[in-house]
């Protein structure tokens, strides 16, 4: 079971994280509603659980927001200068803003929002685990009266909210979506959890049995009981099971103190036939995984086979398919669009008769035949014999 948990984990390299999040941001920015303000999710200062307002307000009877925007990276405690994943995300946001400075703004304040008529408040994060930090950031902006006024006119000239992250758990996503600002959440990949990757409670029992910290001190499944099975090259989220990153008596974690520096070299971006077969086996598509179609197919055909195989059983949402196949949500959506055009799926992502026929044909294909033996070379004499008689 411990090996199965490790195999179910999603390991995200630096290149995959940066390119995936950048591609999703550019895709969202191209949807219209410009100009856009990008904000990096981070811890904010608070008092008694209530976050400080994101922007300054006047003290007049009619409150009005003013000033510059928040800093992308700032420690909440003066004695703790640690910088988390917000540093990587802030650097990525800076690149995108420099590439198109007239349409994309880096942490604009109220003055810039009014001057440039910014229409979208986009919060960027690496991971949404419990959803509390993203919700807190949105709440700090929501406490500003001018922001609520702008949001009320979002249908015409107001301010709409979005959250863009590399991955998110189901629970964390639902928490963010329930915020009064009604943000739309977009992710690069679906995040596997213990509950989504295993149908039985054996994995959960193992985490409780070997937890290096008593359950009364810290939940064995991670912060808020997330059970997230994901590890980035820049660290492991605190929503992951404690057996992965917490040290205890007689227990050495794989990612001590949630640091992945010792193992990040194994975080590959491989999408070869062996990886595709592994995902097919996880989806119980044994005949399809052992057929020669997977080995001989081109990358786009392998992607289509993975998506069609994932659609053979519900649920059939793009994020769920991404979690099953290891593909990005954008790749899944592109494959679904092509499958719908070829009439392999219907409007509700259910396989049609043609889609089932494609999978059945792929299962019937035999293993790839070995290359024919190398043909013998042309004959030529290696020596000359003495003539038997005199030739005329």
Contact 129, 237 (CB under 8 A): yes
Contact 271, 240 (CB under 8 A): no
Q: Is the pLDDT of residue 232 over 70?
A: yes
Contact 18, 197 (CB under 8 A): no
Q: What is the pLDDT of residues 260-304, one digit of tens each?
A: 877 777 776 555 677 788 888 888 888 888 876 776 778 888 888
Contact 276, 269 (CB under 8 A): no
With pLDDT > 90 as the criterion, what percentage of the chain qualifies?
39
Q: Is the pLDDT of residue 35 over 80?
A: yes
Alpha carbon 123 to its chain centroid, in Å, reads: 15
- Angstrom distance (rounded) from CA 80 to CA 42: 14
Q: Is the pLDDT of residue 197 over 80?
A: yes
Which of 189, 230, 269, 188 lies closest to 26, judged by CA?
Answer: 188
Distances from the Cα of 194 to the Cα of 68, 77, 197, 217, angstroms: 42, 33, 5, 21
Q: What is the pLDDT of residues 156-195, one digit of tens each?
A: 778 999 999 999 999 999 999 999 999 999 999 989 999 8
Q: What is the mean pLDDT of residues 88-97?
A: 92
The domain limits of the chain are 2-190, 273-364
- Angstrom distance (rounded) from CA 231 to CA 235: 6
Confidence band for 386, pLDDT divided at 50, 70 and 90: low
Q: Is the pLDDT of residue 118 over 60?
A: yes
Confidence band for 20, pLDDT divided at 50, 70 and 90: very high
The residue ranking higher by pLDDT, 59 or 163, is: 163
Please give, one letter per residue, the 3-state secondary structure of the chain.
CHHHHHHHCEEECHHHHHHHHHHHHHHHHCCCCCCEEEEECCCCCEECCEECCCCEECCCCCCCEECCCCCCCCCCCCCCCCCCCHHHHHHHHHHHHHHCCCCEEECCCHHHHHHHCCCEEEEEEEEECCCHHHHHHHHHHHCCHHHHHHHHCCCCCCCEEEEEEEEECHHHHHHHHCCCCCCEEEEEEECCEHHHHCCCCHHHHHHHHCCCCCCCCCCCCCHHHCCECEEECCECCCCCCHHHHCCECCECCCCHHHCCCCCHHHCCCCCCHHHHHHHHHHCCCHHHHHCHHHHHCCHHHHHHHHHHHHCCCCCCCHHHHHHHHCCCHHHHHHHHHHHHHCCCECCCCCECHHHHHHHHHHHHCCCCCCCCCCCCCCCCCCCCCCCCCCCC
For residue 157, with 0-12 CB atoms within 10 Å meaning exposed, 13-18 middle and 19 or more buried, which class applies? Answer: exposed
Provide the token pair at 198. 């295993």
Which of 39, 123, 108 lies closest to 69, judged by CA?
Answer: 108
Beta bridge partners of 122: 38, 162
Confidence band for 319, pLDDT divided at 50, 70 and 90: confident
User: What pLDDT is attached to residue 353?
Assistant: 92
Give pTM, 2 decimals. Answer: 0.82
CATH of domain 2-190: 3.40.50
User: What pLDDT is attached to residue 172?
Assistant: 92
Q: What is the mean pLDDT of residues 117-139?
A: 93
Contact 229, 324 (CB under 8 A): no
Q: What is the mean pLDDT of residues 12-16?
A: 88
User: What pLDDT is attached to residue 301?
Assistant: 84
Confidence band for 47, pLDDT divided at 50, 70 and 90: confident
The residue ranking higher by pLDDT, 200 or 164, is: 164
Provide the token pair at 334. 């592109």
Q: Is the pLDDT of residue 200 over 60?
A: yes
Q: Is the pLDDT of residue 40 over 90?
A: yes
Distances from the Cα of 9 to the Cα of 5, 314, 381, 385, angstroms: 7, 21, 63, 72
Q: What is the mean pLDDT of residues 300-323?
A: 87
Q: What is the mean pLDDT of residues 144-150?
A: 93
Q: What angle do CA 294, 295, 301 make, to 5 degrees?
A: 45
User: What pLDDT is attached to residue 373?
Assistant: 61
- The per-residue pLDDT of the chain, averaged, comes to 85
User: What pLDDT is attached to residue 31?
Assistant: 84
- Angstrom distance (rounded) from CA 259 to CA 231: 9
User: What pLDDT is attached to residue 368?
Assistant: 47
């Amino acid at each position: 079971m411990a090996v199965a948990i490790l195999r179910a984990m999603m390991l995200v390299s630096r290149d995959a994280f940066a390119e995936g999040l950048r591609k999703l941001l550019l895709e969202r920015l191209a949807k219209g509603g410009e100009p856009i303000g990008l904000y990096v999710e981070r811890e904010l200062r608070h008092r008694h659980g209530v976050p400080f307002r994101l922007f300054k307000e006047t003290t007049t009877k009619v409150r009005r927001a003013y000033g510059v925007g928040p800093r992308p990276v700032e420690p909440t405690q003066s004695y703790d200068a640690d910088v988390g994943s917000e540093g990587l995300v802030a650097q990525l946001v800076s690149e995108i803003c420099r590439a198109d400075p007239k349409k994309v703004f880096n942490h604009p304040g109220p003055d810039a929002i009014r001057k440039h008529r910014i229409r979208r408040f986009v919060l960027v994060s690496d991971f949404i685990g419990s959803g509390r930090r993203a919700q807190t950031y949105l709440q700090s902006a929501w406490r500003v009266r001018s922001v609520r006024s702008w949001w009320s006119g979002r249908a015409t000239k107001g301010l709409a909210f979005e959250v863009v992250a590399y991955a998110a758990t189901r629970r964390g996503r639902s928490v963010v979506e329930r915020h009064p600002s009604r943000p739309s959440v977009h992710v690069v990949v679906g995040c596997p959890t213990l509950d989504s990757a295993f149908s039985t409670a054996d994995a959960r029992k193992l985490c409780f049995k070997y937890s290096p910290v008593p359950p009364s001190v810290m939940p064995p499944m991670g912060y808020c009981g997330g059970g997230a099975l994901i590890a980035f090259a820049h660290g492991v989220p605190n929503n992951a099971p404690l057996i992965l990153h917490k040290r205890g008596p007689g227990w050495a974690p794989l990612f001590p103190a949630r640091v992945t520096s010792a193992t990040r070299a194994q975080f590959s971006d491989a999408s070869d036939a062996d990886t595709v077969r592994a995902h097919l086996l996880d989806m119980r598509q044994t005949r399809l995984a052992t057929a020669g179609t997977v080995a001989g197919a081109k990358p786009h055909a392998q992607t289509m086979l993975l998506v069609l195989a994932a659609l053979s059983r519900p649920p059939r949402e793009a994020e769920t398919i991404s979690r099953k196949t290891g593909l990005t949500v954008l790749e899944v959506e592109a494959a679904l669009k092509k499958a719908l055009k070829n009439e392999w799926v219907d409007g509700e992502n259910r396989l049609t008769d043609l889609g089932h026929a494609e999978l059945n044909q792929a299962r019937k294909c035999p293993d790839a035949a070995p290359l024919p033996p190398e043909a013998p070379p042309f004959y030529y004499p290696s020596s000359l014999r003495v003539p038997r008689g005199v030739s005329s």
